[in-house]
Amino acid sequence: MSLGCAQLGNLYGKLVESEAADIVSAAWDRGIRHFDTAPHYGLGLSEQRLGDALVGHPRDEFVVSSKVGRILEANPRFSGERDSGGFDVPARFIRRWDFSADGVRRSLDSSLQRLKLDRIDLVLLHDPEEHVADPGQAMREAYPALDRLRAEGVIGAIGVGTKSSASLLRFVEETEIDAIMLAGRYTLVNQEALAELFPACEERSVDVLNAGVFNSGILASPRPAGGSVFDYGVAADSLIQRVNSIADVCDEFGTSVPRIALQFAGTHPAIRSLVFGSDNAAQVHANLDLIESSPAPRALWRHLVERGLLSESAASEVLAP
């Protein structure tokens, strides 16, 4: 299990310092030792808070991953406005796409300062396909720069983190990355990674860190209502109906959508870890309690297939001996 730390950057709402520290403390107490962050999250606030929370813990006992691709620069026109990127923070910095070799090093140096660490264990290229001005820069410049830093022992492992299965597949097939962080593409309602991406990862021994397993929220409650969030936007009514149909099956077997969503998301053999975020310490414990609870009955998965709510291929991973 890995703790995703976007919430430490005030994702969709403000956390006070003590709440942020409590989230990390709760994860540590439950045995989590991998923490994932990025400069993008709260314009550096997530990295800063994570670094503060990990002070005092033995460095060799935890793993930190962060990301490159968005450089933070001082906002020369700042006049008190809030960030427009989904984080409730003052817009004192602006994000600028930069997958150049120099940009990678500058980004890493700044992250190390915020994290108060001497190294980052896993560095991920963050959403490379979204750099529309130069979509090839991440492959052409950033990856070779990270590859050199890995060879020099400056960083540990390297990879790519994004929600685009196509982008991830290209890096898996054309580079020597160690891991991918896949956001929302192997969940109860989206298994697009099954067809090509996961087989390629298994063939090339690339670890999968499965993130966004609740698809931004629609799978996080027993029954989604109108206005539920899916992939960072408002969910379509048809998808809400589908998840409620899954909830009907869960009711029949005495379980819940969040419980089977978490259990399902870790079933494929390519997956090395589940990455989940939490708004507070209680949510950390609740999520881990769901994961550690008894597996859902095998008959539940067969019912989902029979009712057209889960593909046969996806269910086969859950039902494998």
- At residue 319, the pLDDT reads 87
Is domain 1-162 given the CATH code 2.40.160.10 in the classification? Answer: no
pTM (predicted TM-score): 0.95
Query: Known catalytic residues?
Result: 41
pLDDT tens-place values along the chain, 321 residues long: 999 999 999 998 999 999 999 999 999 999 999 999 999 999 999 999 999 999 999 999 999 999 999 999 999 999 999 999 999 999 999 999 999 999 999 999 999 999 999 999 999 999 999 999 998 999 999 999 999 999 999 999 999 999 999 999 999 999 999 999 999 999 999 999 999 999 999 999 999 999 999 998 899 999 999 889 898 889 999 999 999 999 999 999 999 999 999 999 999 999 999 999 999 999 999 999 999 999 999 999 999 999 999 999 999 988 887
- At residue 318, the pLDDT reads 87
Write down how long the chain is.
Answer: 321
- At residue 12, the pLDDT reads 86
SS (H, E, C) the chain: CEEECHHHHCECCCCCHHHHHHHHHHHHHCCCCEEECCCCCCCCHHHHHHHHHHCCCCHHHCEEEEEECEEEEECCCCCCCECCCCECCECCEEEEECCCHHHHHHHHHHHHHHHCCCCCCEEEEECHHHCCCCCCHHHHHHHHHHHHHHHCCCCCEEEEEECCHHHHHHHHHHCCCCEEEEECCCECCECHHHCCHHHHHHHHCCEEEEECCCHHHCCCCCCCCCCCEECCEECCHHHHHHHHHHHHHHHHCCCCHHHHHHHHHCCCCCEEEEEECCCCHHHHHHHHHHHHCCCCCHHHHHHHHHCCCCCHHHHHHHHCC
The domain locations on the chain are 1-162
Q: Between β-strands 179-183 and 93-97, what pairing exists: parallel, antiparallel or unpaired? A: unpaired
- At residue 317, the pLDDT reads 86
> How many angstroms separate the CA atoms of 38 and 72, rounded?
11
Residues 6+ apart with CB under 8 A from 58: none
